[in-house]
Structure formats: structure tokens, C-alpha cells
């Protein structure tokens, strides 16, 4: 087995996540989320977009001051979380971002500028040459303020490949230390996104001096798959959000990427992570409550159905041995336990277990069969049979015999 490298986990719940339509975090909410991210071992926290509002500038400054120095839960990592803020490639925005993040012992400026012809022509109405000039000037200016600079060529996935190589080569020369290559519109397939990194790392001069980073939007539901493909092709930083919240269909979710790596400790990935997975459910609930963004019940890892079993065959298997239908022990991600849900497709073993849990004694197989057939008749009419329904059926059964 080859030696694994550390995966840098860059969480952007407080910046890209907050760009989800309808989501605004208050400063105390941002602080609590940032504290939990720090405790769970996140490496870089993108705390906001300081130039976007006074409120965001204050929130990012407070996170830098109050969360930036924290070491609780990070003993194995050996350093505090890096605090960063996103900025346009404009001097006064860069200065303002630096003024917010500089209070953290470890801080970074994250500059973005579009590079695709679509964005250069329609959004900026400038040439590729002018785009490149602005990018280089912005990075050079940022380097006069701090030495940890991330650059993102926005809409990289739709940028001409040769131009992208030129931009990234110049970005390294100007002083960028992390190159984040986003699929801003979520258009790529995993092979394309992974292949792009392979090409960029092989063709960009100075590629070995920087950290390569992936940032995927989820417009085709491929953000996690694309991020994993990027790791397999040289990426060592992933940009993620809790519950996958973010612009439009959202971003790559932290819990999916981390648990994909966690459940594949062999040779599938050339990286290891230092996330405390036991805090995943806790932070998912915190982000759900503070953002007001519901988590779909069947969302991987953190959805309410992620560890629930309804069909008789599955219930029977799980009751005999959890591993028959669960690839993750719920306790590993902080979910209190799995659950057996009674519905139309459920079987007798689950019913028997549920009745016992409710303290209902079933004296014979015949009595169980009778309760089971009435339960099935009810389940045909109702999506979920409740404890109250079961108690009523069992009581009625006792009376009618």
C-alpha cells in the first residue's frame, strides 16, 4: 500500500452554504457552527464573504478572534483551524477580507475570478488577457498581506483547457498556495472532473508547489462522485458543506465524502482524514435547525431514513446481524441507533420485536399471526403504522381472542 497523504477538509457551510436561497445565519449561529467544525477536526473554515455586508464582516472577524485560536478536539491535528473569507479579485475587497480574517492565528485569503469565456464575455465583458491581468494583480496584492492565498478560477469546468493552464501557471508565479478548480455549474461527470485535474497537474508549471483543491456544485447530483474522482487524481483539499447546502442544488456534502473515505480504508483513496465522525449527526442537526433547510429523509448518512429499515426481508436480516444491510454503524456518525419502521412491507420478526418493546406479551404463534394480519391490513391503508395503532390492535385482539 502506498503512503497516504492527509486530506485537507475545507468547509464552506458559512459561505457557499449561506448562499442557499433563503438561508441567513446570525453571528451567534455562525460562531456555534464554526466552533463545532473546529472541534470535529475541519482544517479550513470559510467563514463568509466579508465584503458582502457589515454583518458578515463582523461575523468573520469574530470567528477569526474567538474560534481561530481553539485547540479543543484538535490535539492529534496539532494546529488550530485556518479561517478564510472569500473575495473578488479587487484590491479593496481583498484588503477588507484580510482585515476580517487576520485575527486568527492561521488565516487565508480566498480570491476568485471567472475564467470561462461565457463569464468573461457576458458577466465582465472583458477579454481573456484582461481577466488574466486582474487575477495576477489580485494575487500579487494579496501576497503583500499574507502568505496563505487560495485562488479559484470560477467556472473552471467550462474554461478552455489551454487558457486554464496558463491562468493557473501565472497564479502560482504570482504567489497562490492553493489552487481550487471549481465545477461552478455542476456540469462535469466524475471521469471528466478527475481527468481535468490529471491534465492540470501534469501541465501546469509549478504544480508540485501548491495544494490542488476540488469544489463541486450538485446540479446533476454528482458533487460527491466528482469530488472523490478529484481525490483519486491528485486533489488534496476538498471544499464541502454540512448537509450539502449551497447555491441551487447545493455543494458536495462533508459527511458523504468523509464517510466514503472512512468506509474504504484500503487502496481506493490515496488520502486519510482526521474528522471526528462521531460529531457528524450533531453538526448536521445544528445546521438544519439554524439554516431552516430541511434534510431530505433519504439523504445519505444524515437523513432520518439513513439507518431505518422497513421491508420484512431487511428487518429480519438487520435483527439477526446489523451488517446485513448497514455499511456504517450509526454510532460512528453519532446517530443514537438504527430504527425498525413498521409499514406495508414489514415482516413478522420486526412486529414481534416492536410488540415486545411496547411491553405487549404475545402468548402464541397463532395470536401473533392474527395481530400480523390486522397490522398488514392497516399498513395497506397507512404509510406508517404507529405504536398507538399496534397497541390498539393488540388490545382488540385480546378482547376478541
Residues whose CB is less than 8 angstroms from the CB of residue 30 and which lie 6 or more positions away in sequence, other chains included: 14, 47, 48, 59, 62, 63
Options 112, 141, 269, 375; binder of ligand KIV; rule CB under 6 A:
112
Residue 18 binding ligand KIV, by CB under 6 A:
no
Count of all residues that appear for the chain in the document: 401
Q: Which range in 177-185, 279-287, 294-302, 326-334 contacts ligand KIV by CB under 6 A?
A: 177-185
Residue 116 binding ligand KIV, by CB under 6 A:
no
Whichever of 84 and 184 has its CB closer to ligand KIV, that residue is: 184
Site string for ligand KIV, 179-218 (x = CB under 6 A): -x-x-x------------------------------x-x-
| Angle (nearest 5°) at CA 60 between 255 and 230 | 35
Integer distance in angstroms from the first to the last C-alpha of the chain? 65
Residue 250 binding ligand KIV, by CB under 6 A:
no
d(CA 401, CA 178): 73
R_g over Cα of the chain: 25
Grid coordinates representing 210 are 501548491
| Residue 321: CB minimum distance to ligand KIV, A | 43
Whichever of 239 and 310 has its CB closer to ligand KIV, that residue is: 239
Q: Which residue has the cell 477579454?
A: 127
d(CA 47, CA 32): 12
Whichever of 252 and 277 has its CB closer to ligand KIV, that residue is: 252
Options 18, 154, 170, 255; binder of ligand KIV; rule CB under 6 A:
154
How far, CA to CA in Å, does 329 sit from each of 235, 268, 350?
Answer: 28, 20, 19
Site string for ligand KIV, 70-89 (x = CB under 6 A): ----------------x---
- Reduced to 3 states (helix: H, G, I; strand: E, B; else coil), residue 49 is coil
Q: Which range in 176-184, 228-236, 339-347, 367-375 contacts ligand KIV by CB under 6 A?
A: 176-184
* Interacting residues toward ligand KIV by CB under 6 A: 16, 86, 112, 152, 154, 180, 182, 184, 215, 217
Amino acid at each position: 500500500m502506498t503512503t497516504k497523504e492527509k486530506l485537507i477538509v475545507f468547509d464552506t457551510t458559512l459561505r457557499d452554504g449561506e448562499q442557499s436561497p433563503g438561508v441567513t445565519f446570525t453571528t451567534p449561529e455562525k460562531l456555534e457552527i464554526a466552533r463545532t467544525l473546529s472541534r470535529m477536526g475541519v482544517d479550513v473554515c470559510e467563514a463568509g464573504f466579508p465584503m458582502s455586508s457589515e454583518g458578515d464582516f463582523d461575523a468573520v472577524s469574530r470567528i477569526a478572534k474567538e474560534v481561530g485560536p481553539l485547540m479543543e478536539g484538535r490535539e492529534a491535528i496539532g494546529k488550530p483551524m485556518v479561517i478564510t473569507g472569500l473575495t473578488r479579485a479587487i484590491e479593496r475587497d481583498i484588503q477588507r477580507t484580510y482585515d476580517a480574517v487576520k485575527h486568527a492565528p492561521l488565516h487565508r485569503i480566498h480570491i476568485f475570478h471567472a475564467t470561462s469565456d461565457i463569464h468573461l464575455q457576458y458577466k465582465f465583458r472583458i477579454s481573456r488577457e484582461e481577466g488574466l491581468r486582474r487575477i495576477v494583480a489580485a494575487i500579487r496584492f494579496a501576497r503583500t498581506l499574507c502568505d496563505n492565498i487560495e485562488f479559484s478560477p470560477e467556472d473552471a469546468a467550462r474554461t478552455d483547457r489551454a487558457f486554464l493552464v496558463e491562468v493557473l501557471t501565472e497564479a502560482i508565479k504570482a504567489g497562490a498556495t492553493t489552487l481550487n478548480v471549481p465545477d461552478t455549474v455542476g456540469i462535469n461527470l466524475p471521469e471528466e472532473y478527475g481527468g481535468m485535474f490529471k491534465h492540470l497537474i501534469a501541465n501546469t508549471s509549478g504544480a508540485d508547489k501548491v495544494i490542488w483543491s476540488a469544489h463541486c456544485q450538485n446540479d446533476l447530483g454528482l458533487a460527491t462522485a466528482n469530488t472523490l474522482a478529484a481525490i483519486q487524481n491528485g486533489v488534496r483539499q476538498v471544499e464541502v458543506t454540512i448537509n450539502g447546502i449551497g447555491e441551487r442544488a447545493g455543494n458536495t456534502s462533508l459527511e458523504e465524502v468523509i464517510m466514503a473515505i472512512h468506509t474504504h480504508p484500503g487502496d481506493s483513496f490515496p488520502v486519510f482524514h482526521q474528522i471526528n465522525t462521531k460529531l457528524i449527526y450533531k453538526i448536521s442537526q445544528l445546521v438544519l435547525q439554524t439554516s431552516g433547510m430541511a434534510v431530505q429523509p433519504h439523504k445519505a448518512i444524515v437523513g432520518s431514513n439513513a439507518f431505518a429499515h422497513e421491508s420484512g426481508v431487511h428487518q429480519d436480516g438487520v435483527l439477526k446481524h446489523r451488517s446485513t444491510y448497514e455499511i456504517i454503524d450509526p454510532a460512528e456518525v453519532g446517530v443514537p441507533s438504527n430504527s425498525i419502521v413498521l409499514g406495508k412491507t414489514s415482516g413478522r420478526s420486526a412486529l414481534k420485536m416492536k410488540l415486545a418493546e411496547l411491553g405487549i406479551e404475545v402468548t402464541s404463534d397463532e395470536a401473533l399471526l392474527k395481530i400480523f394480519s390486522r397490522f398488514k391490513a392497516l399498513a395497506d391503508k397507512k404509510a406508517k403504522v404507529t405504536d398507538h395503532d399496534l397497541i390498539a390492535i393488540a388490545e382488540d385482539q385480546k378482547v376478541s381472542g
